[in-house]
Structure 1
Amino acid sequence: MSKNHVYKTTELVGSSETSVEDAVRVAVRRGAKTLHGLKWFEVSEIRGHIEKGEIGHWQVTVKLGFTLDE
């Protein structure tokens, strides 16, 4: 088996009322339902929604990298 890999990436946006970390987990968990071979993630953007002067929820854009089938 070769140690050289080719990766494909896709972006998802996860959201959470709790935290940035939870928003990342939401995105990765959802991506894992339809993508296989997930190997890494990169947070490319963090933003949030404000409700009544408070953080309503976090939104995190996550780039997911996965290996291509041989």
Structure 2
Amino acid sequence: MAILKVIEVLANSDKSWEDATNNAVEQAAKSVNNIRSVYINEQSAQVKDGKVTEYRVNVKITFEVI
């Protein structure tokens, strides 16, 4: 039986929400092993002068505890 744990991570990108999600997973993988999945909990963006300048995600990352 596998034991799974979930952490919540905030990340951003100046390119896209997908890139922000990848950034969250890459940073989490530096200190967390056995990542199984990522769930995008919330998306938002910063706007300046009528243009999106930053994409932000709040994700839940699930990993197996060994």
Whether TM-score is above 0.5 comes out as yes
Deviations 1:47-66 (A, max 9, x none): 01111111011000110000
**Count, aligned residues:** 66
Deviations 1:17-48 (A, max 9, x none): 10010000000000000101111110000001
Q: What's the Cα RMSD here?
A: 0.7
Q: Are 1:64 and 2:57 an aligned pair?
A: no
Whichever structure has more strand as a proportion of its residues is 2
Identity across the alignment (%):
26
With structure 2 as the length reference, what TM-score do the two structures score? Answer: 0.95
Superposed, 1:17-28 pairs within 5 Å as 17-28=14-25
With structure 1 as the length reference, what TM-score do the two structures score? Answer: 0.90
Runs of 5+ consecutive residues of structure 2 not aligned to the other structure: none
Structure number with larger C-alpha Rg: 1
Moved over 2 A (4+): none
Q: Are 1:16 and 2:42 an aligned pair?
A: no
Cα distance in 2 for residues equivalent to 1:53 and 1:10: 33
